[in-house]
Structure 1
Amino acid sequence: MTPLHQLRAGIIGTGFIGPVHIEALKRLGVTVNGICGSTKSARKVGDLWGIPEIYGDYDREAMYASPNIDVVHITSPNKVHVEQCLSALAMGKHVICEKPLGMTTKETQLVVDAVRKGGKRGPVFAVNYVCRFFPAILQMRAMVARGDLGKIINVQGHFFQDWLLHETDYNWRVLASEGGKLRAVGDIGTHWIDAVSFVLGAKANSVFAHIETFHKTRKRPKGEVHSFARADRNKLIDYKVDTEDFGSVLLKFGKAGHGFADGVHANASISQVAAGWKCSLSFGIYGTKGSVRWDLQEPNEIILGRRDEPNQILQRGTPGFLEDVANFTDYPPGHAEGFNDCHKMHYRAVYEHIASGKKTEPLFATAADGHHEVKLCEAILQSSKAKTWVKV
């Protein structure tokens, strides 16, 4: 296997999530050789992180042509994901693309086709559904697949944030033209759905949804604002909101490979206007023998529920939350691992898959997985409009 530090990365995008990728890669020993964005922001991020190749004026083609970059990380706004993915794949670069993979399934199918065309010797492609690599997610996945919880009955949960609570809160994701027609459910709800799908080992095949826009009109600055940053409230203009603030989604899942989670029903509440909730991706999986519950804001603990025995709190690194995730956790019990660590574990899995010549198990989300999530988004929009179940 090629040592990971011999693989070299290039990053497109300098907003909130771009430096998260950079930090995780540097922790793995991966060299980040290129950064691409506006000239000013690319220079600023490049200087901060010691990145030698600066590609200003969004000149991604020049970065793709660099012989010093093997893997491209796409952390740009949603509307340009597909064209940037296709160009990188055409240049023979491996790709890790932020979610969602694209704006429509017509677009994302092009990526699926391009990856398939590359075949076994073609570039590796991953979508950045990093929640799969929280140790708790992997632990619950192992428990479900083994039958520890019995036959799975249903899943319930939520993903709540409050960073877009006020009418003056603004980010490009609020605009359908920039982020897609589905915002809260598309941006954070798909993280919830992908994590639950991964744990169950099954994909959602039909949905019933209701979405709402509370702020019909918002106020925005004349320029752009990075995710989670505050705008200058003295220089704001009104604009009509064409994406949702919150929603409720019912899902029916298909068959699981192991047989313990066939035809599971799930329900999720999604909101970016839930005051007091910063980043709470939470769900419970309920089976005939027991249940597991987890929240991203308390990532190192799983609540194990039983009917006829005492409930337990499983802590990462201790018995019951140790052996199944040994390859995806680096620190001893009590030394918390969270958001930045799951990014590191995700990129380690992708880069090891590249280094091994695709011989490791691809636990990460593929182009086909990313395409399916966009299918779900389109079905959710259709369901909310028609007020009926829609097949995916």
Structure 2
Amino acid sequence: MATLHHLRAGVIGTGFIGPVHVEALRRLGIQVTALCDLPDRVRPAADRLGIPAAYTDYRKLLAAPDVDVVHITAPNRFHCEMALAALAARKHCVCEKPLAMNTRETARIVQTARRAGTVFAVNYNVRFYPAVLQLRRMVERGDLGDIIHVNGSYLQDWLFKPTDYNWRLLPKEGGPLRAVADIGTHWMDTVSFILGAPITRVMADLATWHKTRQRPLGEVQTFAREDQTTRYATYPVKTEDFASVLLEFRNGARGNLAVSQVAAGRKNCIRLEIYGSKQSAWWCSEEPETLCLGRRDEPNAVALRGTPAFGPDAAPFVDYPAGHVEGFPDTFKMLFRAVYRAIAEGNTTAPLFATPEDGHQEVAVCEAILKSHQTRRWTAVRA
């Protein structure tokens, strides 16, 4: 049986998230042997990251004998073909979210993955914050009681200006939804993961603040700073800047979610509040170390990660003591640790990481959200 450290990875995509994958893999002692992207991007990125093989055709990366696991971090429109090709090549796979552009594509991936016998994960990394894992166990044990409702948001400001640009703004590259699909699905997957219940119905309102934007004449990396010398061209925006969504979960709980990529001052703020019949709990990614507990007739409590107050359930996913913050980069490390252990041990029973079925569910929720916005009605999720 292979050990975790003998597995080798290849990464497709060198934008913002590709190097995040590379860094997390190296922290686990996983050798990254290959990188793939466009000809003018891949060699400089491979040199910068110290990766020996640089491919301009992802099929060649998939054929490489020194790649055991492929990480797909290319734009959304490529996810389906690359995922299916990875499965056909018998490679284990970690695919960035969303799994694909629509449920027709995600259903194909689910069916193919079930037959393949390889490990396939969708990179919903927020699941691996220790506080999120702790919340999941608390709900499983009934510590919060019956779940009444859930409240939260995912707010960013990186598309606040009309001159901010990224391929995600274009429906042909990222899909018909942007803020909801890009960051809203992280929140929805996380809450469904905590509750152990999928979303069954939605009522959504989407809005676009910048009806037109200024696109740089040239490509721009995610979260890149504006260059004063850049020349622009005006284009109409056909994806949402922000959204409000009412949710119903299979366990009967209700929820409401606010999503925005034009929320000035919010760089990457995930907030969730879970209200139960015994007590409530809330957490924010901007303060990832603390988990707050709310009571009616007792003082509220604050549990700190890595202390007895936090509890033992998330301990396998805590590497540093309290006061040594584990945040966004650590969630990737922990997710990949779970994936690579599943590969090495041949154990795919009830994984904590998101599966193709989970990825399919989130795309189905997005389709219901878009339909609800268009019809102005509650809409069932057809997963």
> What's the TM-score bracket when you normalise by the shorter of the two chains?
over 0.9
Instruction: Please tell me whether residue 135 in structure 1 is matched to residue 130 in structure 2.
Output: yes
Residue among 231, 243, 247 paired with 2:243: 247
Q: What is the Cα deviation at residue 43 of structure 1?
A: 1.2
Q: Look up the match of 1:229.
A: 224
Deviations 1:13-59 (A, max 9, x none): 00000000000000000010000001232112211222111113xx0
Q: Does the Cα contact within 8 Å between 1:352 and 1:360 map onto a contact in 2?
A: no
Instruction: Please tell me whether residue 101 in structure 1 is matched to residue 120 in structure 2.
Output: no
Q: Does the Cα contact within 8 Å between 2:202 and 2:369 map onto a contact in 1?
A: yes
| Matched letter for residue 42 of structure 2 | A
| Matched letter for residue 16 of structure 2 | F
Q: Look up the match of 1:3.
A: 3
Instruction: Please tell me whether residue 342 in structure 1 is matched to residue 337 in structure 2.
Output: no
Question: Which deviates the most, 62-71 or 46-55?
Answer: 46-55
1:330 partner SS: coil
TM-score (norm: length of structure 1)? 0.95
In structure 2, how many angstroms separate the alpha carbons of the residues matched to 1:320 and 1:83?
A: 46
Deviations 1:308-331 (A, max 9, x none): 111111100111314101111101
Residue among 119, 131, 148 paired with 1:153: 148
Instruction: Please tell me whether residue 114 in structure 1 is matched to residue 109 in structure 2.
Output: no
Q: Does the Cα contact within 8 Å between 2:129 and 2:327 map onto a contact in 1?
A: yes
| Matched letter for residue 353 of structure 1 | A
Instruction: Please tell me whether residue 266 in structure 1 is matched to residue 255 in structure 2.
Output: yes
In structure 2, how many angstroms separate the alpha carbons of the residues matched to 1:39 and 1:4?
A: 31
Q: Look up the match of 1:80.
A: 78
* Residue correspondence of structure 1 range 62-73 to structure 2 within 5 A: 62-73=60-71
* Residue correspondence of structure 1 range 363-374 to structure 2 within 5 A: 363-374=352-363
Q: What is the Cα deviation at residue 361 of structure 1?
A: 4.0
Q: Does the Cα contact within 8 Å between 1:36 and 1:60 map onto a contact in 2?
A: yes
| Matched letter for residue 110 of structure 2 | V
Question: Which deviates the most, 342-351 or 32-41?
Answer: 32-41
Instruction: Please tell me whether residue 303 in structure 1 is matched to residue 327 in structure 2.
Output: no
Where structure 2 has 5 or more consecutive residues not aligned to the other structure, the ranges are none
1:324 partner SS: coil
2:352 partner SS: coil
Which runs of at least 4 in structure 1 moved beyond 2 Å after TM superposition? 230-234, 358-361
Q: Look up the match of 2:54.
A: 54
Q: Look up the match of 1:257.
A: none
Q: Look up the match of 1:282.
A: 271
Deviations 1:202-254 (A, max 9, x none): 00011000000111100011211110013445400000101000000011000
2:314 partner SS: helix
1:210 partner SS: strand
TM-score (norm: length of structure 2)? 0.98
In structure 2, how many angstroms separate the alpha carbons of the residues matched to 1:95 and 1:154?
A: 35
Q: What is the Cα deviation at residue 4 of structure 1?
A: 1.1
| Matched letter for residue 32 of structure 2 | V
Instruction: Please tell me whether residue 31 in structure 1 is matched to residue 20 in structure 2.
Output: no
Q: Does the Cα contact within 8 Å between 2:33 and 2:52 map onto a contact in 1?
A: yes
In structure 1, how many angstroms separate the alpha carbons of the residues matched to 2:226 and 2:307?
A: 44
In structure 2, how many angstroms separate the alpha carbons of the residues matched to 1:47 and 1:15?
A: 15
| Matched letter for residue 97 of structure 1 | C
* Residue correspondence of structure 1 range 183-198 to structure 2 within 5 A: 183-198=178-193
Q: What is the Cα deviation at residue 360 of structure 1?
A: 5.5
Q: What is the Cα deviation at residue 102 of structure 1?
A: 0.8
In structure 2, how many angstroms separate the alpha carbons of the residues matched to 1:48 and 1:355?
A: 29
Where structure 1 has 5 or more consecutive residues not aligned to the other structure, the ranges are 255-261
Q: What is the Cα deviation at residue 151 of structure 1?
A: 1.0
Q: Does the Cα contact within 8 Å between 1:33 and 1:68 map onto a contact in 2?
A: yes
Q: Does the Cα contact within 8 Å between 1:221 and 1:232 map onto a contact in 2?
A: no
2:288 partner SS: coil
2:313 partner SS: helix
Q: Does the Cα contact within 8 Å between 2:119 and 2:348 map onto a contact in 1?
A: no
In structure 2, how many angstroms separate the alpha carbons of the residues matched to 1:3 and 1:356?
A: 8
Number of positions where the alignment pairs a residue of Structure 1 with one of Structure 2: 380
Deviations 1:274-328 (A, max 9, x none): 1111111101000111111101111111111111111111100111314101111
Q: Does the Cα contact within 8 Å between 1:197 and 1:204 map onto a contact in 2?
A: yes
In structure 2, how many angstroms separate the alpha carbons of the residues matched to 1:285 and 1:128?
A: 23
Q: Does the Cα contact within 8 Å between 2:33 and 2:53 map onto a contact in 1?
A: yes
Residue among 304, 312, 317 paired with 2:306: 317
Deviations 1:154-195 (A, max 9, x none): 000100001101111100001111100000011000000000
Cα RMSD for the two superposed structures: 1.0
Q: Does the Cα contact within 8 Å between 1:172 and 1:179 map onto a contact in 2?
A: yes
In structure 2, how many angstroms separate the alpha carbons of the residues matched to 1:292 and 1:2?
A: 40
Q: Does the Cα contact within 8 Å between 1:221 and 1:231 map onto a contact in 2?
A: no
Q: What is the Cα deviation at residue 359 of structure 1?
A: 4.9
Q: Look up the match of 1:206.
A: 201
